[in-house]
Amino acid sequence: MTTTTPASGLRRTMLNKVPEVTLYFWVIKILCTTVGESFADYINETLGFGLTNTTLLFSAALVVVLVFQFRARQYLPPVYWLAVVLISVVGTLLTDNLTDAQGTPLWISSTVFTVLLAVVFGVWYARERTLSIHSIVTTPRESFYWLTVLVTFALGTAVGDWTLELTGWSPGAAVLLPAGLIALVFVAWKAGAGPVLTFWIAYILTRPLGANIGDFLASDRSEGGLGLGTLGTSVLFLATIAIVVAYLTVTRVDRTEEGQVTSPRPGPSSE
């Protein structure tokens, strides 16, 4: 569906391009972050592709999938979630390149990505007057959305790794901190905190949660993990993602109804 409004001029508008935020959304998001950690490690280390080649490989795949995502006129679960899987890998590799290849301390990476995220949010809001994912109905908004998602993955990786560096926790114990923080964000949201703010905080926190779950499953038992390995963890989670996405594609339970889509130029509210 294509419409134009006086406020949007000739800007291309569509049905909302992202899913409704349901339990399925968060489950798949965490699964994707786990794959981002384990699959990148498998390609980079186990198969010996190296950090640079792995980054180039997944970046190219991400560009191809995003072309299909941007060309779509509405939310398509297989395309959208494949983009999230790939962007989770690329976001992880951005931090890994800074840390392993460039020797950048994790606290600096965390600071840089935090500032970058604030800048992206600032420009997005100044241009669109909203940061809500319920209003991704134009190409500029979708561009801001995917840039934000990429930065949140890189930031979540840096902060998560920095936390582990500071605490020295085992993979199992490391799961508890982001899980507890997400629970606090949920309580704050239920108590009336802003839905847009709490959504993006939770979105960032799911990155270290998923990565720590991946480390716990893949690490040897001697290191406090379950010993599934990076390949076993990646296959398990990719298969689970595929099943859930297939279910969502058939049932359409996570689609934003056409009548709920926000107009291309809303007022000052960010919700």
Global pTM reads 0.84
Tokens of 14: 């569509």
pLDDT at 184 over 70: yes
| All residues at 6 or more sequence positions from 163 whose CB lies less than 8 Å from its CB, including other chains | 174, 177, 208
pLDDT at 202: 93
The angle subtended at Cα 24 by Cα 19 and Cα 30, nearest 5°, is 100
pLDDT at 257: 55
pLDDT at 164: 81
Over residues 46-62, mean pLDDT: 89
- Count of all residues that appear for the chain in the document: 271
Gap between the Cα atoms of 248 and 148, Å rounded:
24
Would you say 229 and 176 are in contact if contact means Cβ atoms under 8 Å apart?
Answer: no
Q: What is the mean pLDDT of the chain?
A: 85
Q: Which of 42-46, 51-55, 139-143 has the lowest mean pLDDT?
A: 42-46
| All residues at 6 or more sequence positions from 13 whose CB lies less than 8 Å from its CB, including other chains | 2, 3, 4, 5, 137, 138, 264
Q: Which of 100-114, 150-164, 218-232, 240-254 has the lowest mean pLDDT?
A: 218-232
Which run of H or E residues covers position 169? none
Which run of H or E residues covers position 142? helix 139-167
Report the percentage of the chain scoring pLDDT > 70: 89
DSSP 8-state assignment for residue 261? P
Gap between the Cα atoms of 25 and 170, Å rounded:
28
